[in-house]
Structure 1
Amino acid sequence: MNKDMLNALDVLEKEKGISKEIVVNALEAALISAYKRNYGQAQNVEVEFNDKTGDIHVYSVKEVVDMVFDSTLEVSIEDALEKNKAYELGDKIRFEVTPKDFGRIAAQTAKQVIMQRIREAERSIIYDEFIAYENDILTGVVERQDSRYIYVNLGKIESVLPKQEQIPGEEFQAHDRIKVYITKVDNTSKGPQIYVSRSHPDLLKRLFEQEIPEIYDGVVEIVSIAREAGDRSKVAVRSRDVNVDPVGTCVGPRGQRVQTIVNELRGENMDIVKWDEEPSVYIANALNPAQVVHVDFHPAEGSCTVVVPDFQLSLAIGKKGQNARLAAKLTGFKIDIKSESDYNNIMAKKIASGEAKAVVPEEEEVEATRTNSEPIEHLLANPENISVNDYIEELEETESEEQLNTKEELAEDVLTADDVEDRIAEVELDPEEDYNELLEDHQD
């Protein structure tokens, strides 16, 4: 029997991962409980289990006193000195009281307590192991499902995937292998309870870390994620190395890297955009694939107005507003998208009513944007106040086209630099008469 018990302890330690010391302590506590219950003893007792031989001994512990009031707890100094002359008052003496028939009833009681301790130890080991995986991903096997949960086996324990954490429309069969994100690990009275997710944005982050070494190593960083699980996601990335393209790194050769992630998420569309410290550029990237003409910020409201070409308005907004909604989540700005024509009409009304002023770009910006095929960005709100010499002098300094607008009459007319030069070359008038004639022609 003793050898069988020692062998059982060795098996528990190897197969269950429960140390022999934990089991021995549980066994000693069980034997104390069994002794007190079955032999009606209330005194202090100790049980000693020899993990080498398997022998069990029960001892009654008594204190040395002058006068004994309770023989189950105390022993007189005279009796103590007869046993050993070294004893003094206050010493504790152990007397062996192991019953000869300390057998079946005591063993059954001990077994129940031992099994309980073993279960508690197993739960503690499992909890300690899986708490380290909280906010991480693991691969599990689908076992079964009901109306509330999908049960996923993670090896030593079964986790639950709640309905609200499932990807809409995603279906599984028994024995399917899936990757799940561990959102919570609880240590309940019934054992550890693990909750997992397939719709959490951080599942996407962990998948990128697994598939893309540059992200795992920190060369490329995921700045933000906006996700509508099962449909579309946007991921903003930046590189800590100027020689590494963050978007190309994530996409991989022929899209192989990102395609692996898309396949794991059962075809979820993925937009990888480059993060930029300039908010207007970042917002323009986030609205990909739509092109952005201009971004007008409203700092007090934490929002911005994004101007896009007329023919790309629906593309920028996306199906049911999804593209704009994900871009807003990704950048942290409230985004109002306007077509170019609508925005120009709104600004023209504001300028006419005095709510806004026409903006004249800085000279450096003007020179950078001038081309022979595009008008100059100047808006001449009051041309009668501009001297002819100043106008012609500026005209001579630039080789590109120029847009000449009055506040009302010339709001939609474009007069290019080539037109002005051609007209001046055709007539031989003094500059002032030439200028006035030119304006009259346009106003007509």
Structure 2
Amino acid sequence: MNVDFIEALDQLEKEKGIDKDTLLEAIEAALISGYKRNFNSAPNVRVEIGRDSGEVHVYARKNVVESVNDNRLEISLDAAVDIDGSYQVGDVVEIEVTPREFGRIAAQTAKQVVTQRIREAERSIIYTQFSDREEEIVTGVVQRVDSRVAYVDLGQTEAVMPSAEQMPTDKFRPGDRVKAFITRVERTTKGPQVVLSRTHPGLLKRLFELEVPEIFEGVVEVKSVAREAGHRSKIAVYSADPDVDPIGACVGARGIRVQTVVGELHGEKVDIIKWSDDPAEYVSSALSPAKVTEVHIQEEEKTARAIVPDHQLSLAIGKEGQNARLAAKLTGWKIDIKSEAQAAEIGMFGRISDDADDEDDGFGTLADDWLSEP
């Protein structure tokens, strides 16, 4: 090793952020092992690399004793004094024992250590970079796909998207560009592993942030998201500015903003509703596109009982209970739905029910079935 090697380490420190002294200490430790392995030396040795010259020196460390029992580990006081008159019994003498052919071993060892440290540093940088981006959207290129995982090139690393995190409408082919949501970043023996999702509700939220400047700027706030990926989603938005229509901002002129989001999700239907701190109003909006006549709230049970026109009942429930199920996920309320005719039979119109314990009030059966759907 020489001055060029030291200059190369200086360059690595600037480009990769790997501390030169730390790297040299690691090389010195590796050279000790290499020296012992190749020269059958005593275990007590020290390797030193010149911080400016790059020259390598090996020193045998021997204890100063009155009577020598092991020449590899001990040196007599008389011999130590010949080297330096200040030595006393109990001191440690270092004697240079650098082999003539040690330069080749040193160069090979240094290369291995530097390569390993560069790899570790790059992995650490990638992990830090992507762990800071958890719950954000990234764009990558599909590299390959098998029955369980899609592998996506993100530039600095390859991410994985398990089949469970892929939308039913996703049909990936190598070379496809894809937007996905980073759910987590894990350390593995092979380096950091970035896990992506296209089904996570966070993907819908981030897509609207990209398309709607008012959300990115904080003028419009996304309060809640409920998704059944590939089929239908609901998103609740709110603005504290009375001059800003949060729904209109998300829809965009002639629907261009929401159409862009829907296109990215391969036609997934998206209902945009206005969030309200009034539970009855919020639940009523969440059941969109159905028109709700009345909503009766039971705070303690966090149950909302919605009444809809007779011809809107199936719309409010949705196919296989999907609309009701998404509304419940969006609001966090358990929602029971009845038609006006059904409500009239049990006298529900115009009153807020406090008969939660009534066993025969006609509610609680349909909603349980809807909410039990996956």
Amino acid at match of 2:155: G
Report if the CA contact (8 A) 1:152-1:159 is conserved: yes
Using the TM superposition, name which of 69-78 and 283-292 deviates more: 69-78
Secondary structure of the residue that 2:174 maps to in structure 1? coil
Q: Which residue of 1 aligns with 2:196?
A: 196
Report if the CA contact (8 A) 1:38-1:106 is conserved: no
Amino acid at match of 2:225: I
| Inter-partner Cα distance in structure 1 for 2:272 and 2:91 | 76
Q: Which residue of 2 aligns with 1:94?
A: 94
1:210-225 equivalent positions in 2, closer than 5 A: 210-225=210-225
| Inter-partner Cα distance in structure 2 for 1:202 and 1:123 | 26
Amino acid at match of 2:44: N
Report if the CA contact (8 A) 1:45-1:61 is conserved: yes
Runs of 4+ that moved beyond 6 A: none
Report if the CA contact (8 A) 1:305-1:335 is conserved: yes
Using the TM superposition, name which of 32-41 and 202-211 deviates more: 202-211
Using the TM superposition, name which of 291-300 and 21-30 deviates more: 21-30
Report if the CA contact (8 A) 2:141-2:153 is conserved: yes
Using the TM superposition, name which of 163-172 and 99-108 deviates more: 99-108
Secondary structure of the residue that 1:98 maps to in structure 2? coil
Secondary structure of the residue that 2:346 maps to in structure 1? helix
Q: Which residue of 2 aligns with 1:131?
A: 131
Deviation at residue 126 of structure 1 after TM alignment: 2.1
Secondary structure of the residue that 2:102 maps to in structure 1? coil
| Inter-partner Cα distance in structure 2 for 1:65 and 1:247 | 88
Q: Which residue of 2 aligns with 1:249?
A: 249
Q: What is the number of residues matched between the two proteins?
A: 352
Q: Which residue of 2 aligns with 1:313?
A: 313
The answer to whether 1:58 aligns with 2:58 is: yes
Deviation at residue 200 of structure 1 after TM alignment: 0.6
| Inter-partner Cα distance in structure 2 for 1:327 and 1:179 | 26
Q: Which residue of 2 aligns with 1:206?
A: 206
Report if the CA contact (8 A) 1:182-1:194 is conserved: yes
Report if the CA contact (8 A) 1:161-1:196 is conserved: yes
Paired-residue identity, %: 57
| Inter-partner Cα distance in structure 2 for 1:123 and 1:106 | 26
Secondary structure of the residue that 1:42 maps to in structure 2? coil
Deviation at residue 66 of structure 1 after TM alignment: 5.5
The answer to whether 1:259 aligns with 2:259 is: yes
Deviation at residue 77 of structure 1 after TM alignment: 4.8
| Inter-partner Cα distance in structure 1 for 2:75 and 2:206 | 67
Please report the RMSD computed on the Cα atoms of aligned residues, expressed in angstroms: 2.8
Report if the CA contact (8 A) 1:316-1:323 is conserved: yes
Q: Which residue of 2 aligns with 1:31?
A: 31
| Inter-partner Cα distance in structure 2 for 1:91 and 1:256 | 82
Using the TM superposition, name which of 249-258 and 103-112 deviates more: 103-112
| Inter-partner Cα distance in structure 2 for 1:86 and 1:214 | 78
Deviation at residue 82 of structure 1 after TM alignment: 3.9
Secondary structure of the residue that 2:208 maps to in structure 1? helix
Deviation at residue 271 of structure 1 after TM alignment: 1.1
1:293-332 equivalent positions in 2, closer than 5 A: 293-332=293-332
Report if the CA contact (8 A) 1:280-1:295 is conserved: yes
Deviation at residue 18 of structure 1 after TM alignment: 4.3
Deviation at residue 64 of structure 1 after TM alignment: 4.7
Using the TM superposition, name which of 130-139 and 115-124 deviates more: 115-124
Report if the CA contact (8 A) 2:3-2:54 is conserved: yes
Using the TM superposition, name which of 336-345 and 40-49 deviates more: 40-49
1:356-371 equivalent positions in 2, closer than 5 A: none
| Inter-partner Cα distance in structure 2 for 1:175 and 1:127 | 25
Structure 2: gaps of 5 or more residues: 357-374
Using the TM superposition, name which of 130-139 and 145-154 deviates more: 130-139
Deviation at residue 305 of structure 1 after TM alignment: 1.7
Amino acid at match of 1:341: A
Secondary structure of the residue that 1:280 maps to in structure 2? helix
Which of 1 and 2 has higher RCO (CA within 8 Å, sep 6+)? 2
Distance 1:130 1:235, change over 3 A: same
| Inter-partner Cα distance in structure 1 for 2:204 and 2:36 | 58
TM-score normalised by structure 1 residue count: 0.71
Amino acid at match of 1:234: K
Q: Which residue of 1 aligns with 2:286?
A: 286
Q: Which residue of 1 aligns with 2:366?
A: none
Amino acid at match of 1:150: A
| Inter-partner Cα distance in structure 2 for 1:333 and 1:239 | 22
Amino acid at match of 2:331: T
1:262-277 equivalent positions in 2, closer than 5 A: 262-277=262-277
Using the TM superposition, name which of 223-232 and 130-139 deviates more: 130-139
Q: Which residue of 2 aligns with 1:45?
A: 45
Distance 1:127 1:152, change over 3 A: same
Amino acid at match of 1:325: R
Deviations along 1:118-142, whole A, 9 cap, x unmatched? 3333322222222212222211111
| Inter-partner Cα distance in structure 2 for 1:239 and 1:61 | 74
TM-score normalised by structure 2 residue count: 0.84
Deviation at residue 346 of structure 1 after TM alignment: 2.0
Secondary structure of the residue that 1:337 maps to in structure 2? strand
Deviation at residue 320 of structure 1 after TM alignment: 2.1
